[in-house]
Structure 1
């Protein structure tokens, strides 16, 4: 076991938001399941990471019950399930300790949001000395509003704004930023051979 698949924030919280209708990868559960099956077959560690914002009263507040894997994803007995409160999977968890104890040297990154928690985890993982593989089509994101956009707009208004970055633009930017610097970019099919 040299590799660990890290499944980041593929959780019900995101499906509770209005912008889920514009998610880049509606098939993320199927793609993550393919990676999980492959990792298990290879004897690799699968680490599940969930994002929580306790006491906020929003969809990431564990008290509301949405901080759990999206329906269709099920951690197996013995697979670590970590809860983070930062954008990356390292800072507020014991992920690095788990990886070190098991002699893991390679991370395979998947999850929600491509440019936020997934990219940040990949960058920190690389800085910590891990070989990082970023499986872009096993990540998902949403269009991003311009920094000067007024708050509280509907999804239709956000999508109609020419300053909004499309999900495809966000994903492309992440691949450009990571490739050759922090991670090897790949697909589910390339990684699993199926």
Structure 2
């Protein structure tokens, strides 16, 4: 089964400002880089999704420091970068066409922010026909919310996704 690794919104906004720090941000980056390393070893396509605001004043406008993909990620020129302006990485982007034209059958997800763009993209992928996807624990994260701590948000979403929208793998990262 031909796979692609989709890394959603791992951008500097989550590393530049304490109020936006992802839970366990350093470990999440280490784990995502492990996925990237293994994907490269197995010739699995790596796709970075980059949230891009259309508002020039917004911190996530193209070219601003917070908009950039996190400097700690191992990104090469062979990786695909797709910009999006909505929570859904498939909405008005080339992602679906790119996956289909490359005969991708299974998606491996990683990234941020668990309950926003990450969740929306996982569910949209399922609706688009990608129904055998996987997620390794501790390869996605979020920030504390007004009602729930980040760890509770993550646990809740993993329990909702598992065996519905994808399979959550709670073991060593091994592609």
CA distance in 1, matches of 2:115, 2:137: 10
CA distance in 1, matches of 2:37, 2:171: 11
Matches within 5 A, 1:78-157: 78-130=78-130, 131-145=132-146
CA deviation string 1:70-96 (max 9, x = no partner)? 112132222211111011211131011
Tell me by how many angstroms 1:66 deviates.
Answer: 2.4
Aligned residue number for residue 150 of structure 1:
none
Matches within 5 A, 1:161-172: 164-172=147-155
Rate the CA distance shift 1:133–1:25 in 2: closer, same or farther, 3 A.
Answer: same
Aligned residue number for residue 177 of structure 1:
160
Tell me by how many angstroms 1:128 deviates.
Answer: 1.2
CA distance in 1, matches of 2:24, 2:56: 27
Rate the CA distance shift 1:40–1:180 in 2: closer, same or farther, 3 A.
Answer: same
CA distance in 2, matches of 1:139, 1:49: 13
CA distance in 2, matches of 1:113, 1:62: 19
3-state SS of the aligned residue for 1:189? Answer: coil
CA distance in 2, matches of 1:191, 1:123: 23
Ranges in structure 1 where 5+ consecutive residues have no aligned partner? 146-163
Which 4+ residue blocks in structure 1 deviate beyond 3 angstroms? none
CA distance in 1, matches of 2:120, 2:127: 11
CA distance in 2, matches of 1:172, 1:71: 27
Tell me the matched-pair count: 173
Ranges in structure 2 where 5+ consecutive residues have no aligned partner? none
CA distance in 1, matches of 2:171, 2:65: 30
Query: Retained in 2: the 8 A contact 1:4–1:46?
Result: yes
Tell me by how many angstroms 1:56 deviates.
Answer: 4.9
Aligned residue number for residue 59 of structure 2:
59
CA distance in 2, matches of 1:31, 1:132: 18
Rate the CA distance shift 1:94–1:188 in 2: closer, same or farther, 3 A.
Answer: farther
* TM-score after normalising by structure 1: 0.82
Alignment RMSD: 1.7
